[in-house]
Amino acid sequence: MEEPDFELLSDYYSMLERQGPGSPETTLKALSFVEGHDSIVRIADIGCGTGAHTLLLAEHLPGSQVTALDFLPAFIDQLSANAAQAGLQDRVKGITGNMEALPFEPDSLDLIWSEGAIYNIGFERGIREWRPLLRAGGYLAVSEITWLTQERPAGLQDYWAAAYPEINTASVKIAQMEAAGYTPKAAFVLPENCWTDHYYSPQVAVREAFLEKHPGNPAVKAFIENDRAEADLYERFKPYYGYVFYIGQKV
Ligand code: SAH
């Protein structure tokens, strides 16, 4: 696969509040399955993007210190500006880094959060490699693209086999969590509005603005077309796939 154009990506997605499907309600619902909020102090939010959910976590866990990590410096700059604006700069620290080599000590985290991002390392590898960073009894909360049915149209299967071969059903993902040393506490399918109202709909206007900003640029045109195709695919096939939030506790 061709290397993505990171500047293009960060420029486009910085114009959006979220860089993946999700919503404030969903973030808070996932957080509701994490018990003992008073003992959840050290949090890492991995692949945080511009961090809409990062700030929400910090607001709802007033004693916490959140380290939000992402690959793209432009996202971290935006997150830090948003944190400052919300008066959360003392408790939310944005850092650029790679989820494949996280800068945390073993047993040093009470909660690992990751929305719409673990696919970059792969679900199974991510949950295994991040586990040692959690203290015993610490929580993992990740959202991940998931098949919602046992069977699905061949074209759709082929699309995802190419885009993300690790896509699977929730029962398989939960079994992977158990095998990796987590007790599954909850798993729920993100409602459709996480994709539509909170992710694809805001992109309609952003796409137009982006095309205007880069007139006649073939890479931008191709990027936008690909993005549109992904939204169309969701509209056509949404009974078959979605995001599932998985919440587990380190055994
Ligand atoms: N959690 C955000 C962003 C999801 S998009 C939200 O839900 O809105 C996925 C994010 O993962 C992007 O911000 C991308 O820059 C980041 N990412 C991709 N590969 C990464 C890596 N290897 N290490 C850290 N972050 C990565």
Give residue 75 CA to ligand 1 midpoint distance, Å. Answer: 9
The Cα 112–Cα 131 span in angstroms is: 9
Give residue 70 CA to ligand 1 midpoint distance, Å. Answer: 6
pTM greater than 0.75: yes
pLDDT, average across residues 123-152: 98
**Count of CA atoms in the C-beta half-sphere (13 A) of 228:** 12
In this structure, the residues whose C-beta lies within 6 A of any atom of ligand 1 are 18-20, 22, 47-49, 52, 70-72, 75, 98-100, 115-117, 120
pLDDT per position as a tens digit, 81-103 = 999 999 999 999 999 999 999 99
Is the dihedral angle over the CA atoms 67, 72, 76, 79 positive or is it negative? negative
Q: Where do the domains of the chain lie, and which CATH numbers do they carry?
A: 20-191+240-250 (3.40.50.150)
Give residue 51 CA to ligand 1 midpoint distance, Å. Answer: 10
The Cα 125–Cα 140 span in angstroms is: 14
Confidence of residue 8 (pLDDT cuts 50, 70, 90): confident
What value does the mean pLDDT of the chain take?
Answer: 96
**Contact (Cβ atoms closer than 8 angstroms) between residue 149 and residue 191:** no
Mutate to test the pocket of ligand 1, among 18, 71, 199 (most ligand atoms within 8 A of CB): 71
Task: Give yes or no for residue 2 having a pLDDT over 70.
Answer: no
The Cα 69–Cα 75 span in angstroms is: 9
Give residue 97 CA to ligand 1 midpoint distance, Å. Answer: 10
Confidence of residue 1 (pLDDT cuts 50, 70, 90): very low
Q: What is the pLDDT of residue 3?
A: 60
Q: What is the DSSP pairing of strand 92-96 with strand 65-70?
A: parallel
pLDDT, average across residues 22-46: 98
| Nearest C-alpha neighbor of 176 from the set 138, 140, 149, 136 | 140
pLDDT per position as a tens digit, 177-236 = 999 999 999 999 999 999 999 999 999 999 999 999 999 999 999 999 999 999 999 999
